[in-house]
Amino acid sequence: MRLDKLLANMGFGTRKTVKDVLKSKEVTVNGLVEKEGKKQVNPEKDAIAVSGEAIQYQEFVYFMLHKPQGVVSATTDNVHKTVIDLLQPQDQSRDPFPVGRLDKDTEGLLILTNDGTLAHNLLSPKKHVDKCYQASIEGIVDEQDIQEFASGITLDDGFNCQSAKLEIESIDVEKEQSVIRVTIHEGKFHQVKRMFEAVDKSVSYLKRLSMGEVQLDETLKLGEYRPLTKAELDSLTHS
Q: Which residues are catalytic?
A: 103
Q: Which helix (H) or strand (E) holds 232?
A: helix 230-237
Partners of 196 in the β-ladder: none
- Direct distance between the N- and C-terminal alpha carbons of the chain, in angstroms, rounded to an integer: 31
Residues 6+ apart with CB under 8 A from 120: none
- Cα–Cα distance, 190 to 201 (Å, whole number): 14
- Cα–Cα distance, 4 to 27 (Å, whole number): 10
Q: Are 134 and 181 in contact (CB under 8 A)?
A: yes
What are the backbone angles phi and psi of residue 203, rounded to the nearest 5°?
-95, 125
Say whether 8 sits in a helix, a strand or coil: helix
Cα 200 to its chain centre, rounded Å, is 30
Q: Are 206 and 192 in contact (CB under 8 A)?
A: yes
